[in-house]
Amino acid sequence: MKPQVVRECAELHSVVKSLHLQNLRVGFVPTMGALHAGHISLVKESLKQSDWTIVSIFVNPTQFAPGEDFEKYPRTLENDLALLEEVNEKENIIVFTPSADEMYPKNFHSYVDVAGAALPLEGTFRPTHFRGVATVVLKLFNMTQADAAFFGQKDFQQVQVIRQFVRDLNVPIEIQMCPIIRETDGLAMSSRNRYLSPEARTRALCLSQSLEKAREMILRDGCRSRRVVDAAIRAILAHPNHSVDYVAIVDPVTLLPNEDDTIQLPAAILLAVRVDDTRLIDNLLIESEN
């Protein structure tokens, strides 16, 4: 069944108010559209845990820096709605597709500045990114009034930043992180994968392969961070037309490395790599086998 589509905040507030008056639990899955199986896995988890699920589809301009791919970011609303129709068995999905003017009306001047987990890694290479993410996510939390929000682990740092501001600002919502969904060959699903040529996509497999190799080195040999990171970078740069923004082994909450170059588990290894002109991110949580 086709999901209900809502385009204005006032209408969404009215719908959600009615649901809460019935003591129904509302889940929320924020997306920028161009949906794939990774997004659908989040929707399914929300449907499992909630009476109703709101899926937002909005390409947020404030999280793109000048020169990034905002203009060419894929916008595939009809296909997105068709994918959601396939899982809307109980007719309990609402799709919120606001315009840019609805989200950022004239004379909009308020933003959420985040530090802590927002500063390293993506924060270094995209210094305005998490300000835009935090602002739009907080607005969407206020608009949906959801009980829980579901995010994918692929955007691991983003999830930690959102958890941080939810805690710091006392936002009454549960944040759930769901596993990365990968293609059968290991490539993490991403809306940006469609930018890759077939040959570049094959080369991009080195991202997940280097993460698995890093896990093996850490669990088998207890290597120092620098040695593991250097091995991963060498494996990635062995392919043509690759460049590395970062590979880092960090605390999974603070996203900071240990100052003495040791690795304490649990840890997260995160990377951002440009394959030709496409920037891809991936990560892996590493825990003790004991």
Question: What residues in the chain have per-residue pLDDT under 70?
Answer: 289-290
User: For position 289, what pLDDT does the model report?
Assistant: 62
Strand partners, 244: 273
Same domain assignment for residues 55 and 138:
yes
Q: Mind listing the pLDDT tens digit for each residue in 9-22?
A: 999 999 999 999 99
Q: The domain that contains 66 carries what CATH number?
A: 3.40.50.620
Residue that terminates a domain, selected from 147, 178, 209: 178
Domain interval for residue 223? 191-282
- 10 Å CB burial of residue 176 (0-12, 13-18, 19+) is middle
SS (H, E, C) 79-121: HHHHHHHHHCCCCCEEEECCCHHHHCCCCCCCCCCCCHHHCCC
* Cα angle for residues 6, 11, 16 (degrees, 5° grid): 90
* Spatial separation of the C-alpha atoms in residues 178 and 173, rounded to whole Å: 16
Asked if residue 287 belongs to a domain, the reply is: no
Q: Mind listing the pLDDT tens digit for each residue in 207-253?
A: 999 999 999 999 988 789 999 999 999 999 999 999 999 999 999 99
Same domain assignment for residues 171 and 205:
no
Strand arrangement of the beta sheet that strand 26-31 belongs to: 4-6, 93-96, 52-57, 26-31, 148-152, 174-178
Q: Which of 13, 20, 36, 39 is catalytic?
A: 39
3-class SS of residue 19: helix
User: For position 49, what pLDDT does the model report?
Assistant: 98
Task: Give this prediction's pTM.
Answer: 0.96
User: For position 7, what pLDDT does the model report?
Assistant: 98
Asked if residue 185 belongs to a domain, the reply is: no
Q: In what helix (H) or strand (E) does residue 132 lie, and over which residues does it extend? A: helix 129-144
Same domain assignment for residues 76 and 202:
no
Same domain assignment for residues 49 and 142:
yes
Same domain assignment for residues 202 and 165:
no
Same domain assignment for residues 33 and 156:
yes
- Residue 129 is among the residues annotated as catalytic for this protein: no
Same domain assignment for residues 16 and 98:
yes
Q: The domain that contains 219 carries what CATH number?
A: 3.30.1300.10
Residues 6+ apart with CB under 8 A from 84: 3, 35, 40, 43, 55, 93, 95
Q: Mind listing the pLDDT tens digit for each residue in 253-265?
A: 999 999 899 899 9
Domains of the chain: total:
2
User: For position 290, what pLDDT does the model report?
Assistant: 53
Residue that terminates a domain, selected from 122, 157, 178: 178
User: For position 221, what pLDDT does the model report?
Assistant: 81
Same domain assignment for residues 138 and 199:
no
* Spatial separation of the C-alpha atoms in residues 124 and 193, rounded to whole Å: 23
Asked if residue 92 belongs to a domain, the reply is: yes
